[in-house]
Structure 1
C-alpha cells in the first residue's frame, strides 16, 4: 500500500495543501519497502489529490486538511487519516503497528502562513 504524508522536515506538516514536501511510503507485509520525498508541486483546489492519485497513493496521513480536499481525495479512492502529528518515522512505526488513529484536523487560523501564502484565516475553517 502506498501512503503520502505531507511533511515539513522530519515532521508531519500541520497543513496538507501548503506543506513543503510529501513523504511517499510503500508498505508491504508490515515493512517499508520504499520511501521517497517529493516537493509539493503546488496548491489549488483538486490539484494535489490528482497529483497523489497519479503517484499511486492509496492513503494520505496528515495533520490538517479541509473538507474539500478530503472530498477530492475520496473521489480518487484515496483514504484520509487526519489529526496526525509528530516525527515521520514515529508515524510510520505506529501505522505498521496498527496504532495510528484518525482524529480531528489540526488546521487552525493562519496555518497556511510561511508556506508561500500570507492569509489571516485558514481556508479549511468552515469546511472549505
Structure 2
C-alpha cells in the first residue's frame, strides 16, 4: 500500500489543494518501508488525483477536500480519508494501520 499525505511545514495540511509537498509512504504489512517527499504539479482540477495515481498511491489522508476532488480520487482507485488531524505523516499512517486514525468531519467547506 502507498499513502499520500499533503504537507505544509512537514505535517498534514488541512487543504490538500494548497499543499507545498506530498509525503508518499510505502507500507508492507503493517510496517513503513519507505518515505518520499515530492513537490506536486501546479494545482488544477483533476491534476493531483491523476498525478498521485501515477505515483502509485492507494490511499490519501487529508484534513479537508471538496466533494468533486473526492470523486476524482475515487475514480483513480484512491481511497480518501478526510478529517484527519494536523500531524506527522508517519503517525497518521501508523494510526490508520492500527485502526486508530481519528477522522471524521471534512475540514473543507466547499
TM over 0.5: yes
Q: Indicate the RMSD between aligned Cα atoms, in angstroms.
A: 1.2
Task: Quote the residue 1:92 is aligned against.
Answer: 93
Task: Quote the residue 1:25 is aligned against.
Answer: 25
After TM superposition, the runs of 4+ consecutive aligned structure 1 residues lying more than 3 A away are: none
The residue correspondences of 1:37-56 to structure 2 (distance < 5 A) are 37-56=37-56
Task: Quote the residue 2:70 is aligned against.
Answer: 70
Task: Quote the residue 1:121 is aligned against.
Answer: none
C-alpha separation between the residues in 2 aligned to 1:93 and 1:58? Answer: 15
Q: Which has the higher contact order (CA 8 A, sep 6+)?
A: 2
Paired residues, what number? 109
| Contact 2:14/2:86 (<8 A) preserved | no
The residue correspondences of 1:8-19 to structure 2 (distance < 5 A) are 8-19=8-19
Task: Quote the residue 1:112 is aligned against.
Answer: none
Q: What CA deviation, in whole Å up to 9, does each residue of 1:15-37 have, x standing for no partner?
A: 01111110000111110001010
Task: Quote the residue 2:103 is aligned against.
Answer: 102
Deviation at 1:101, TM superposition (A): 4.3
Instruction: Provide TM-score, normalisation by structure 1.
Output: 0.80
**Which structure: larger Rg?**
1
Show structure 2 runs of 5+ residues with no match: none
Instruction: Provide TM-score, normalisation by structure 2.
Output: 0.92
Compare the two structures and name the one with the higher helix fraction: 2
